[in-house]
A and B are shown apart, each in its own frame.
Chain A
């Protein structure tokens, strides 16, 4: 993690998760996994944050809230979608109230799979996101091409 110039601060929003991924995000902050040793701090205020962690998928009520938080964050910023809900909609994708994964509303940089996503993979996802954040800061970031879509 030598590329880290500063402590990255995160903001977490529970879009419409079942709490499973939420408590795993919180578990990352507590003594067992303790991401604070990397300088990662959970912030309540989006204007202080570099990394946006979203759990749960987007529905018609929270779409504006998610967009709002994203727009309030200063650039450069990265978004991590945590859990299958945030990535694709999980088993709830057929529900009448579902719009879909978080990437339907805001650009997502890293997807963390798992239902619930394990703390280890969440930390891994956040570390990946920090790499992208660094690239975005140096303006060397290129969006990966999605191949094989024929």
Chain B
């Protein structure tokens, strides 16, 4: 039996944009055990609720993560609105769904690029990010920001999108989708992509369920679970089916994301079609008193917010359970027994977002 060697991976590592540290115990080229250690980006921002008043806190919530910033803000707002019994206007709900789906497209294409980079396909990385810039342009036009938006607020939105702008965006979206089709084809059919991904890091449906995987990681193993189906916001009125793949390997996880981008484009079109008229904002009086669990589907999976207010300006407790945190145990399972060279690819396929996880 070869000797067991420990190889440190991270925190500053070329393939990882974010710091995560893994101790990989290897025998020969095979990984036998993985010990993750986290905490490099811990900020402790949950405690900021006791310093910032509940209307301002949404700005902090957005800065949990720069990739799903809109959805973090949305989750916080939905929680507080539920506690305070605010009925958000239908237009605001649809616009929120629109932006949330746009964030999902942005996040998935960003991830596809990083994944391409991880398996050494640099031109694909560049092409993906080129398409992503066009999505950021839509964000910039409608919200003013590229990554951090600040449009969501308790009670509605800070900004409206005018109907003719929406129509124009629909046209741009068609162009983006056409561009996207060309790179999606590469992810789907290219020999080297398949070679790196098929059969690597397999997670069976049973393991995924038991270890509590969420989002694309879970759906790639054949379990159809999508929090948007519980119908928060405008999602109750939109038609869609969760994207599911069977194999549970890196290729399946990639395919779930590739297909979800089309789904999001479709949802955005539905939002534009059904967009109701009316105001997007409302006056908020009083302070939140009570508690609520708000569950949403982020690009990376299910996120849970716990919010507890005690009737003062400051919220008493704010807690976030992020999808990456739920996906770390499945990740450790996937890494056991893999080749050392596959570690970066497998780590990336759960789409780790460390700054969400550690906050």
Known: A32-B133, A44-B13, A95-B48. A19 touches B355 (CB 8 A): yes
| Residues of chain B with a CB closer than 8 A to A14's CB | 17-19, 41, 355
| Residues of chain A with a CB closer than 8 A to B130's CB | 30-32
CA distance A69 to B10 in the complex (A): 12
At the interface, yes or no: B42 with Cβ under 8 Å from chain A?
yes
| Residues of chain A with a CB closer than 8 A to B112's CB | none
Interface string of B15-56 (1 = CB under 8 A from A): 101110000000000000000000111111101100110000
At the interface, yes or no: A17 with Cβ under 8 Å from chain B?
yes
Pair B17/A20 contact, Cβ less than 8 Å:
no
| Residues of chain A with a CB closer than 8 A to B125's CB | 30
Pair A16/B17 contact, Cβ less than 8 Å:
no
Name which of A55-63, A102-110, A131-139, A142-150 contacts chain B: A55-63
Pair A23/B66 contact, Cβ less than 8 Å:
yes
Task: Considering the complex, give the chain B residue whose CB is closest to the CB of A59.
Answer: B42
Cross-interface CB contact of A95 among B17, B19, B47, cutoff 8 Å: B47
| Residues of chain B with a CB closer than 8 A to A94's CB | 48, 51
Pair B17/A30 contact, Cβ less than 8 Å:
no
At the interface, yes or no: B110 with Cβ under 8 Å from chain A?
yes
Known: A22-B18, A115-B148. A65 touches B12 (CB 8 A): yes
Interface string of A61-96 (1 = CB under 8 A from B): 110010001000000000000000000001110111
At the interface, yes or no: B97 with Cβ under 8 Å from chain A?
no
- What is the CB-to-nearest-CB distance from B108 to chain A, in angstroms, rounded to a whole number? 13
CA distance A26 to B129 in the complex (A): 9
Pair A20/B13 contact, Cβ less than 8 Å:
no
Interface string of B117-153 (1 = CB under 8 A from A): 0000000011101100100100000000111100000
Interface string of A3-46 (1 = CB under 8 A from B): 00000000001111111111110110011100000000001111
| Residues of chain B with a CB closer than 8 A to A32's CB | 129-130, 133
Cross-interface CB contact of B66 among A18, A57, A98, cutoff 8 Å: A18
| Residues of chain B with a CB closer than 8 A to A95's CB | 43-45, 47-48
Interface of B is mostly: loop
- What is the CB-to-nearest-CB distance from B60 to chain A, in angstroms, rounded to a whole number? 6
At the interface, yes or no: B65 with Cβ under 8 Å from chain A?
yes
Pair B147/A92 contact, Cβ less than 8 Å:
no
At the interface, yes or no: A116 with Cβ under 8 Å from chain B?
yes
CA distance A22 to B221 in the complex (A): 30
| Residues of chain A with a CB closer than 8 A to B59's CB | 91
| Residues of chain B with a CB closer than 8 A to A44's CB | 12-15
Interface size range on B against A: 35 or more
Interface size range on A against B: 35 or more
Pair B39/A61 contact, Cβ less than 8 Å:
yes
At the interface, yes or no: B90 with Cβ under 8 Å from chain A?
no
Pair A30/B133 contact, Cβ less than 8 Å:
yes
Known: A69-B12, A91-B59, A92-B45. A20 touches B147 (CB 8 A): yes
CA distance A17 to B15 in the complex (A): 17
- What is the CB-to-nearest-CB distance from B56 to chain A, in angstroms, rounded to a whole number? 9
Cross-interface CB contact of A16 among B126, B127, B355, cutoff 8 Å: B355
Cross-interface CB contact of A23 among B48, B110, B145, cutoff 8 Å: B110
Pair A16/B41 contact, Cβ less than 8 Å:
yes
At the interface, yes or no: B280 with Cβ under 8 Å from chain A?
no
Known: A14-B19, A91-B59, A91-B60. A24 touches B147 (CB 8 A): yes
| 11 examples of A-B residue contacts, CB within 8 angstroms | A16-B42, A16-B358, A17-B355, A18-B65, A18-B148, A19-B147, A23-B66, A30-B130, A30-B133, A61-B42, A95-B45
Binding site for A on B (CB under 8 A): 11-15, 17-19, 39-45, 47-48, 51-52, 59-60, 63-67, 69, 110, 113, 125-127, 129-130, 133, 136, 145-148, 353, 355, 358
Interface pairs A-B: 10 shortest CB-CB? A20-B66, A44-B14, A30-B129, A19-B66, A16-B41, A20-B147, A97-B44, A95-B44, A32-B133, A31-B130
